[in-house]
Amino acid sequence: MTSSALERRQALLHDRDQQVLDLLREDTPLKNIARMVGMPLDHCKVLCYKLIKDHDLAYDSAGAAKAAQDQMPIGVTSDSDKVRHRLANLLYDARQKDHALTIAGATGLTSKQQRLASERPYRHDWTLGELERFARYLEIPFPEFCRKIFAC
């Protein structure tokens, strides 16, 4: 690396560290910090704990994570709010009619995941496969299910 490339890299790393430090001071959960700065979670944890130690911060990772559990995830807008709540309502209705093990076998969602997805919509990120299996469980053709869920 040339000295200018090295200097640029060091400046970028310093900017990233400063951004992480600001987020730590705001009691942002580690998982959200990793998403916001584009780092793997394990590497982000190491960096955060180093910054906490170096700057003598009073950061409670468990408290920050617990406080953020019902908030919208980072990068998700209110546009998906209706979609998540429609899915939660459908899953809640299914759980009232059928046993969690039956739904788990049909959708691949464990009973804990079902509870979180129906009671706390922001705690479960649905995969496309889960959506398709859930539509099959509800006996709704997948394209129709998508239109129903994603309708504005």
If one counts every other C-beta atom within 10 angstroms of the C-beta of residue 36, the result is 15
Q: What is the DSSP letter of 121?
A: G
Q: Is 49 left (phi over 0), alpha (psi -120 to 50) or beta?
A: alpha
Q: CA of 94: how far to CAs of 36, 122, 135, 141, in Å?
A: 35, 19, 11, 16
Q: What is the pLDDT along the chain (152 residues), one digit of tens a residue?
A: 567 888 888 988 899 999 999 999 988 888 888 888 888 889 999 999 999 999 998 888 777 777 666 666 666 677 778 888 899 999 999 999 988 888 888 888 888 888 888 888 877 888 899 999 999 999 999 999 999 998 86
| Contacts with 17 (C-beta within 8 Å, 6 or more apart), sequence order | 47, 51
pLDDT of the residue at 9: 86
Q: CA of 64: how far to CAs of 11, 87, 110, 130, in Å?
A: 29, 27, 26, 29
Q: How many residues does the chain have?
A: 152
Does the model's pTM come out above 0.95? no
Q: How far apart are CA 128 and CA 95, in angstroms?
A: 20
Task: Break the chain into its structural domains and give their ranges.
Answer: 3-67, 78-150
The number of angstroms, rounded, from the C-alpha of 71 to the middle of its chain's C-alpha atoms is 10
